[in-house]
A and B are shown apart, each in its own frame.
Chain A
Amino acid sequence: DGGITQSPKYLFRKEGQNVTLSCEQNLNHDAMYWYRQDPGQGLRLIYYSQIVNDFQKGDIAEGYSVSREKKESFPLTVTSAQKNPTAFYLCASSNLGETQYFGPGTRLLVL
Chain B
Amino acid sequence: GEDVEQSLFLSVREGDSSVINCTYTDSSSTYLYWYKQEPGAGLQLLTYIFSNMDMKQDQRLTVLLNKKDKHLSLRIADTQTGDSAIYFCAERPLKTSYDKVIFGPGTSLSVIP
Q: Is the CB of B45 within 8 A of A99?
A: yes
Given A90-B43, A105-B42, answer yes or no on A42-B105 (Cβ-Cβ < 8 Å).
yes
- A34 shortest CB reach to chain B, Å: 12
- B54 shortest CB reach to chain A, Å: 20
The A interface is mostly helix, strand or loop, or mixed, namely: strand
Q: Taking CB as reference atom, which chain B residue is nearest A98? A: B99
Residues of chain A contacted by B99 (CB below 8 angstroms): 31, 50, 94, 96-98, 100
Q: Is the CB of A42 within 8 A of B42?
A: no
| Contact of A102 with B by CB under 8 A | yes
Contact count band on B: 20 to 34
Q: Taking CB as reference atom, which chain B residue is nearest A101? A: B45
Out of A43, A94, A99, which one reaches B48, CB within 8 Å? A99
Report the count of interface residues on A (CB-CB < 8 A): 25
Q: Is the CB of B88 within 8 A of A102?
A: no
Q: Interface code B47-59, partner A: CB below 8 Å = 1, 0 otherwise? A: 0100000000000
Q: Taking CB as reference atom, which chain B residue is nearest A6? A: B42
What CA separation (Å) do A50 and B33 show in the bound complex? 21
Q: Given A50-B99, A102-B42, list of 20 further CB < 8 A pairs?
A: A31-B98, A31-B99, A40-B8, A40-B105, A40-B106, A41-B105, A42-B88, A42-B104, A42-B105, A42-B106, A43-B88, A48-B98, A50-B98, A90-B43, A99-B33, A100-B101, A102-B35, A102-B43, A105-B42, A107-B40
List residues of B whose CB falls within 8 A of some A CB. Answer: 4, 8, 31, 33, 35, 40-45, 48, 88, 98-106
